[in-house]
């Protein structure tokens, strides 16, 4: 299995990182993609990718911190993105739930990171919360940039618009939550050929471990629930989501990099 969106670069893993990676491998999670959310975490994601075979990095600025963006920020992210084990830009996007940064600034920085993906020929990992229309409109401005809607929580109608543009979706612990009936209906309507697995660890721990720190070793619980939703075997889910992840992040071209 491949965990397409993790944060082993988070301080929550400082004390037992090696053990966490070992548990993931024992659970069948052979590849983990660590996603940056600011400059420090992006650098850490690159460091981890250099230190552990099977770990990869995504570098960028989360919409919460869009107010911190400068021209230098863009240059630093661009420089990190040139590393052999960096697969994408992100997580970029819009978050109108907390509004930690002004919305107009969020939109500007989102466009800047999509433009960076376009310039560098890299896909972009997207965070979108309570900003469905603006996210879709801005993504539509960059038709050549492959996008992954991480922890997708939008409508099926919006999902179909993204699907027509060739984009992908990733799902994690929330699809296992007991009250997530609407989300599971959306997941059921998205073709398995467009879905990736994720944990978003240390957040969004799947049932029955909610309340505990999440980690990549919990990914099989997400795979099992996705198989139940789509009426197929766990083996089918693992095979197809791995294929999707390799396609989106172009891992097939990089498998010889350690």
The backbone torsions φ and ψ at residue 90, rounded to the nearest 5 degrees and listed phi first, read 150, 175
How many structural domains are present in the chain? Answer: 1
Identify whether 84 is preceded by a cis peptide bond (ω within 30 of 0): no
Mean pLDDT by 10 residues, the chain (258 residues): 98 98 98 98 98 98 98 98 98 97 98 98 98 98 98 98 98 98 98 98 98 98 98 98 98 71
**99: its two tokens:** 């509004």
Residue 229: left (phi > 0), alpha (psi -120 to 50), or beta?
A: alpha
Does any domain span residue 196?
yes
Distances (CA, A) of 197 to 170, 239, 240: 5, 11, 10
Distance of CA 108 to the CA centre of its chain: 21
Q: What is the pLDDT of residue 139?
A: 98
Angle at 110 between CA 109 and CA 113, to 5 degrees: 85
pLDDT tens-digit profile of 173-192?
A: 999 999 999 999 999 999 99
Edge-to-edge strands of the sheet including 31-35? 2-6, 31-35, 55-59, 86-95, 124-129, 147-149, 168-171, 195-197
pLDDT tens-digit profile of 25-51?
A: 999 999 999 999 999 999 999 999 999
**153: its two tokens:** 């929580």
Q: What is the pLDDT of residue 16?
A: 98
Q: What is the pLDDT of residue 258?
A: 59
The backbone torsions φ and ψ at residue 91, rounded to the nearest 5 degrees and listed phi first, read -90, 125
Quote the domain boundaries for residue 28: 2-253
Q: What is the pLDDT of residue 253?
A: 73
Does any domain span residue 258?
no
- Convert 60-85 into a string of H (helix), E (strand) and C (coil): CCCHHHHHHCCHHHHHHHHHHHCCCC
Q: What is the pLDDT of residue 255?
A: 66
We report the CATH number of the domain holding residue 27 as 3.20.20.140
Residue 157 burial by Cβ neighbours in a 10 Å radius (0-12, 13-18, 19+): exposed
Q: What is the pLDDT of residue 257?
A: 64
Does any domain span residue 152?
yes
Find the farthest-apart pair of alpha carbons in the chain and give their distance in angstroms, rounded: 48
133: Cβ contacts below 8 Å, ≥ 6 apart: none
Does any domain span residue 161?
yes
First to last CA, the chain: 18
Does any domain span residue 81?
yes
């Amino acid at each position: 299995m491949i965990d397409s969106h993790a944060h082993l670069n988070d301080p929550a893993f400082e004390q037992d990182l090696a053990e966490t990676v070992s548990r993931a491998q024992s659970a069948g999670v052979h590849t983990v993609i660590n996603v940056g959310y600011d400059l420090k975490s992006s650098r850490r994601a690159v460091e981890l990718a250099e230190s552990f075979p099977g770990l990869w990095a995504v570098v960028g600025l989360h919409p919460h911190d869009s107010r911190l963006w400068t021209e230098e920020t863009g240059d630093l992210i661009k420089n990190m993105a040139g590393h052999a084990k960096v697969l994408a830009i992100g997580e970029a996007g819009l978050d109108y739930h907390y509004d930690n940064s002004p919305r107009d600034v969020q939109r500007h920085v989102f466009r800047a990171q999509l433009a960076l993906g376009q310039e560098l020929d890299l896909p972009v990992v997207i965070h979108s919360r309570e900003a469905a229309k603006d996210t879709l409109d801005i993504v539509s401005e960059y038709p050549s940039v492959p996008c992954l809607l991480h922890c997708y929580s939008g409508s099926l109608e919006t999902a179909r618009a993204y699907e027509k543009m060739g984009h992908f979706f990733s799902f994690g612990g929330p699809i296992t939550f007991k009250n997530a009936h609407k989300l599971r209906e959306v997941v059921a309507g998205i073709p398995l050929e467009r879905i990736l697995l994720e944990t978003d660890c240390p957040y969004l721990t799947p049932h029955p471990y909610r309340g505990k720190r999440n980690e990549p070793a919990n990914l099989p619980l997400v795979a099992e629930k996705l198989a139940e939703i789509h009426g197929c075997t766990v083996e089918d889910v693992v095979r197809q989501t791995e294929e999707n992840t390799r396609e989106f992040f172009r891992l097939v071209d990089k498998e010889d990099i350690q």
